[in-house]
Structure 1
Amino acid sequence: MLIKSADDKSRRLALLQDLQKSPLLDTRQKEWLRVELRNLTAGIKGEREAAFHLDGHYKDGQNNVLLHDLRFQVDGEVAQIDHLVINRTGYMVLIETKNYSGDLEVNAHGEFTVRYGKERYGIPSPYEQSRRHARILGKLLERLEIGTRTDKLPEFHNVVLMHPQAIIQRPDAKALDTSFLIKADQFRAWHEKLVDGFSTGGVFKAIFNIRSPDTIKAWGEKLKRQHRPQDLLDLPDFMQPKPQPAKAVMEPRPPAPVFAAAPATPAPAQADASLAKKLICAHCREKISYPEGKFCWNNAKRFGGLQYCREHQNSFT
C-alpha cells in the first residue's frame, strides 16, 4: 500500500535556478549554489527512479506499506528517510537513495568514494546516515506506541539504493559485507531473499508478530502525520540577499537667494574747503540743521570731514 508520495520540490528547484542568474553572487555563494543545485537535481532524479521500482512492487500490495520522502524532527534531531517499507511481520526497511553520476567505490573500512574520471572525492557513508535515521525513527515509534508483539521496536534494515546503471566497486565480502548496497531494479529480489533467509526461530517470530493490513496502514498514516517538510525557500545565512547601499538621493538644491542690490553709496563730493564746517549737505548741497552738522563733525573719519543731511548720512556704513 502506498501511503505517501514524495513532496513536490519544484519550488526549491526554481529558487536555485533563479538565484544563479543574480549578478550579485560572490565566489562562495556561486559554488554553494552550484553544488546545491547539482545535488537537488540528482536527488530528485534518484528518488523518482527508486519510487518507480518500489511502487511497482508494493503500491497495490497488502503485506507492505510504502512511504516516500519522510522528514521527522525528534528532540532537536532530524531524520530524512527517502523511502520506508513497513512489513506485516514486524520489520521496517529504511532506504537511502543515491544517484551519483560517477562510479562508487567502497573500501574494507566502509569508506565511500565517488570517482569522476581521474578525480576522486570522499563522501559520508550513506549507510551510517541511514542507521542514524533509524535511531531517531525508533524514538518516534516509541512515542507513537508502534511496536511488534514481542519486541518493543520493529526490526530495522538499512539499504542504500543505487541507480540500475551505477558502477559499484566493492571490497571482498569477507572484509566487509556490502549487501546493503543495492541497485534499484534488484530491491525486490533482495527483499524476497531477506524473507527467505529467516531461520526457523525467525519464521515463528514473524508469524507471531504478523499484523493485519489495516494495522500497518494505520502505522503508516501515523508516520505520515509526523512528517515535517523542509522549508523549500530556506537558505543558509551567507546566501541571504545582502542589503545594497542606498543610492544617495540628489535633492534639488534650493535656489540661491536673490539679494536686492544694495543701494550704491553716494560718492562723497570732492572735498571742498568751502563746504567744511558749513551747514550744507556735501551730496545734495541742501542746508542742514546744526545737529546734523554736529553729528558729522563728531564723526569726521566716517564722513571724510564733510557734513551730510540725515537722509544721506544713512548711505554711509
Structure 2
Amino acid sequence: MLRRGQAVTRGERGAEFRSYYDRPVIKPPVWKVPDVPAYLYLGGMAGASSTMALCADLTGRARLARAGRAAAATGTTASVAALVHDLGRPARFVNMLRMLKPTSPLSVGSWILAPFSALSAAGAVSDLTGLLPRWGRAASTTAGVVAPAVMTYTAVLLADTAVPGWHEVYRELPYVFAGSAVASGAAVGLLAAPGDEGPACRMAVAGVALEFGAFERMRRRAGMVGEVYEQGRVGAVLRAAKVLNGLGAGAALFARHSRAAAIAAGACLTAAAVATRYGIFEAGRVSARDPRYTVVPQRQRADQVIS
C-alpha cells in the first residue's frame, strides 16, 4: 500500500520502486549552465594546447608553440573565471587551496588547475614580451608536463559524484574527455598556426578517434543509464557533436594544402568539443532527476552480489 504522495515507477524487467511526489532520490547537481560546461571545455582545450606547445617547442615549430601557449593561458584563465562565477565568490575557490586532500578529486583538481594557470600565464607573458625568456620557457615546459592531468581531472571530478549518468561511466569518461581535449587543442593549431598545421592535423584525427572509441564503449557499458546519452536534447547535442567531429577530422586531412579546410576543421572541432562537454554535463543532470537511473542499477548490482 502506498503512502500519501508516493509514486510507483516501473524499472527494468518489472522492478518497482517508490519515489515521494516523484522527487529525485539524489539531489541533482547545483552547478550552472553555461559556467560548468565552459569550465569543462576550456580546461581541456587549455591542457591540450599546452602539451601541443611543448611538443612544438621541442621540434622547432615556433608559430605552433606560440599559438599553443597563448591558447593555454587564455583558456585556463577563462576556465578559472567560469568556475569562480559558478561558485559565486572568489573566496570559495581560494578556500579549496587551503589544504590538499588526496582523497578528494575537487581538492586535487584545484591544486592541478591553480599552478597550471599560473605557469601557463607566465609562459605566455614571457613569450609575448620577451622578458625573462629562460623562466618563461621553464614555466611553459612545466605546464606542458602537468597538462594531461588538466585534460582529464574534470572527468574524475564528475564520476566521483553520486550522479548515475557520470558515476556509471567512470572508467570511460576520462578517455572521452582526453580525446575531446586533444581535438580541441588541435583546433587551436589549425586556426592559429598557418604553415605549421601538420602536428595539429594528426592531433585532430587521433583525438577524434579516441573520443569516438571511448564514447561508444561508454555508451555500451552504461546499461540503462546510457539512455540519457541518446534521448531528447542531450541525444541531439551529442549526435551533432559526433557529426561535427567527423567533419572536422575529415577536413583536417586536407588542412596542410588548404587554408579553408584548416579553418573549417578548427571550427568544427571546436563546436564538437563544446557540444560534447555540454551534452555529458546535461546527461548527468537528466539522470539525477529520474529515480530509475539511481535505483535500478543499484538493485542490479545487489542481485549480482546475492547470486
TM-score band w.r.t. shorter chain: under 0.3
Output the TM-score relative to the length of structure 2. Answer: 0.27
The structure number with the bigger radius of gyration is: 1
The structure carrying a bigger helix percent of its residues is 2
The TM-score, its normalising length taken from structure 1, stands at 0.26
Q: Which protein has the bigger strand share? A: 1
